[in-house]
Chain A
């Protein structure tokens, strides 16, 4: 009987339910997220999605600008001592936490004490604890709004490090974010949104924080023009990209922050969907294992560089949205000079000649890739075809992502289609792929001379001097070909007809301030 009733209601329901089911709630901005966030504890257990959501709630002393530089956020003013070992931050006046309490220097000191305690499991603890770039020796409160950070040695990267979104922006938190035992409860921070309801595996809601005071000026990265125009934001977890597209077309979501280049034409044609494109700082290309018996011959690596038409692969993978770039410094960076634009010319004849000189006899070269990240797969397929044209016996091996990552970290590959996420400084872009392979097998480029140039660029704060080092590094990088950089990512976002003012940016993450609902 009940079964029959259920069956009956199943048949009848499409006629009764539509209006209720698809209704849009006013004042709620619905944004797609392809996986649930991990925790709301800043910089502890996180991934890209976690950062995307949490950076609406969290704010640190400094933040990232539109071009990826560092600028004051909660701090009004930053003074660096002449020896580069003391940073004095003065907090902005009138700042309040989500619970209404004022933000004081004591809160800054408490927050940092918690971050630097290994028990917090803050992922950036090691960066500031001496194993990474620098060690914080003391955080001193010298006035109601003044804090001094003392570090062990000067570095050009101290402020950039504290602004890292994967460290939770080193956000300043109120003591009540943890309970009496120091256990995490939830973020009481200072961002333009408060953390709202979180239904695991389904959605995360953020609420507008009425007490928020934005920095003046236009929208600028994570720091400027953070005026919230909606009451609530709901991040809906939709793992399947095709379902995300369907949801956008059906009006079930308002913002799809990251759509595939394949859908670009179709979305543009519709008229009611707004598409926005922003170049990002991620770096995609082929890694070439310089210790491989075959690829250790630089002539073969150069042959590969000349066989592959960077411009054509970029056009094919990004469907014409990306800019070809052979430098590890991304195009939007302020260090992207004329010299960085140089790249190996596509020249099949030269490639064949180099192969012949190296005595290549058709040994197979395996390109590792995966299906989780479509662009990596597409690049591998196109690269294989181009290599085959010059007589290289290129094969593709598709791995599951976790397996490929394992092979990357162990350096166990010949050639790999790979992407590096955005780094905050040009020096870090070189650092991510250079280093001694003996102790760090994941490193791609093991050239002592280059490492020396790089360490100089890491310490110096002199812009011109750094630029000169980077330009020399790029020249050496092109000669060594440990990696073939192809392009920087493009963040394609699509918004529904209700949304005005959404704009992507170089970090490739959504920003939902300055966005209005009609």
Chain B
């Protein structure tokens, strides 16, 4: 088991290298550079050349890559071009914000969605099933920025219950911090409920058809026990895999929610970085997200046998 974990952790290295290389190449392929953006319509050939030299962009790309990689090897991700801050602390700072929202939202969504999905599967094609599936589909079809804005207008502006912009970290003032993250968490939770419910329902339908469930029922095991002891663990397995995916995707992809609710999170850092061609920030963020992603999925895979007895320890 320990060897397996170690092995998987070692696998992170080639993944990270691949990500690093791909990001580097892709970023340089995309037209536009940070010097142009900083000077905008006031750029002249001289000022551009000067600024590029200052930023080290006049070096050959291979040299830039090796130089950056060398620094990363000793834990230095460089400084942001936009605001001259060291990238690594910046990422940790922003990650805390994103992670607290994503984790709470996914946990809440799972708590609602898995039972709902199971219920729908258990009473397949009943009115309840139809309502649950319909509701989940509706949630799936709402764009997050649209739902977020709607919530903002309703709870923030019309009712005035919650603050509309800003962020306070949980370390500073727990109560106020909570007020700022309720709406983004609620938005994200609703969206994720749609995805997870449908997955849980499909998985449960699969499981309920298997022989041993039929056996258990034939033996007279009460329905509640069938669901709880036999269906839940098995139905949870594919859902669990999906959870890993969702968590990974969200770490990089919550930029939209962070933009609508003005949260200083990792997603916004990344997207702003892309648009500003802030190379060190984008490279650092993606490396970080890639490593986080591998770790989350390792955790998911390690816990997989706990939920699915069929895949015993390798």
> Residues on A close to B: CB < 8 A?
3, 6-7, 9-10, 13-14, 16-18, 20-22, 35-39, 45, 47, 121, 123, 126, 131, 166, 200-203, 236-240, 242-244, 246-247, 249-253, 372, 400-403, 405-409, 418-421, 432, 439-440, 442
Contacts and interface: CB of A to CB of B under 8 A. Distances in A.
B140 interface: no
A5 B163 CA distance: 22
Contacts of B163: 21-22, 250, 252
B182 A13 contact: yes
Given A21-B179, A45-B84, A239-B268, A402 B275 contact: yes
A261 to B, nearest CB: 19
A17 B31 contact: no
A253 B185 CA distance: 23
Given A121-B54, A250-B160, A421 B42 contact: yes
Nearest to B108: A7
B289 to A, nearest CB: 18
Contacts of A16: 175
B165 A126 contact: no
Nearest to A399: B31
A345 to B, nearest CB: 29
B41 A6 contact: no
A252 B30 contact: no
A200 B83 contact: yes
A249 B41 CA distance: 34
Contacts of A6: 104
B165 A243 contact: yes
B33 interface: yes
Contact of B160 (A22, A238, A242, A440): A22
Contacts of B211: none
Contact of B178 (A9, A131, A402): A9
Given A202-B166, A240-B262, A402-B31, A39 B153 contact: no
B37 A246 contact: no
11 contacts: A9-B178, A10-B108, A13-B175, A22-B162, A201-B269, A237-B262, A240-B259, A252-B163, A402-B31, A405-B36, A432-B42
A433 to B, nearest CB: 10
A250 B157 contact: yes
Given A200-B85, A202-B167, A240 B260 contact: yes
Given A6-B104, A10-B178, A37-B83, 13 more contacts: A7-B108, A14-B155, A17-B175, A21-B163, A38-B83, A39-B83, A237-B264, A243-B261, A246-B152, A250-B156, A402-B276, A405-B40, A421-B41
Contact of B262 (A238, A403, A408): A238
B164 A243 contact: yes
Interface in B251-292: 259-262, 264, 268-269, 272, 275-277
A202 B30 CA distance: 29
B84 A47 contact: no
Interface string B69-90: 0000000000000111100001
Contacts of A401: 37, 275
B149 interface: yes
A201 B108 CA distance: 28
B178 A13 contact: yes
A348 to B, nearest CB: 31
B32 interface: yes
B42 A402 contact: no
A404 to B, nearest CB: 8
B47 interface: yes
A18 B32 contact: no
Given A200-B83, A202-B264, A400 B179 contact: no
A483 B111 CA distance: 60
Contact of A419 (B32, B41, B178, B269): B41
Contact of A243 (B178, B179, B262): B262
B38 interface: yes
A91 B261 CA distance: 47
B43 interface: yes
Interface in B75-118: 82-85, 90, 94, 104, 107-108, 111
B44 A17 contact: no
Interface in B162-200: 162-167, 175-176, 178-180, 182, 185
B45 interface: yes
Contacts of B268: 239
Contacts of A47: 38, 40
B41 A18 contact: no
A249 B155 CA distance: 12
B164 A246 contact: yes
B58 interface: no
B83 A402 contact: no
A169 to B, nearest CB: 16
Contacts of A203: 166
A246 B156 contact: yes
Nearest to B111: A7
A432 B40 CA distance: 12
Contacts of A247: 164-165
B314 interface: no
B223 interface: no
A97 B155 CA distance: 46
Nearest to B181: A10
A440 B40 CA distance: 15
Contacts of A166: 42
Contact of B164 (A126, A239, A250, A405): A250
Nearest to B262: A238
A110 to B, nearest CB: 23
Contacts of B38: 45, 47
A236 B166 contact: yes
A238 B165 CA distance: 7
Nearest to A249: B157
Contact of B260 (A202, A236, A242): A242
B161 interface: yes
Contacts of B41: 405, 408, 418-421, 432
A252 B164 contact: yes
A440 B45 contact: yes
Nearest to B35: A409
Contacts of B175: 13, 16-17, 20
A406 to B, nearest CB: 4
A402 B43 CA distance: 13
Nearest 7 Cβ contacts at the A-B interface: A402-B32, A201-B264, A21-B179, A406-B31, A406-B32, A247-B165, A250-B164
A239 B258 CA distance: 10
B10 to A, nearest CB: 33
A408 B31 CA distance: 11
B93 to A, nearest CB: 8
Contacts of B153: 246
Nearest to B37: A402
A102 B266 CA distance: 44
A18 B161 contact: yes
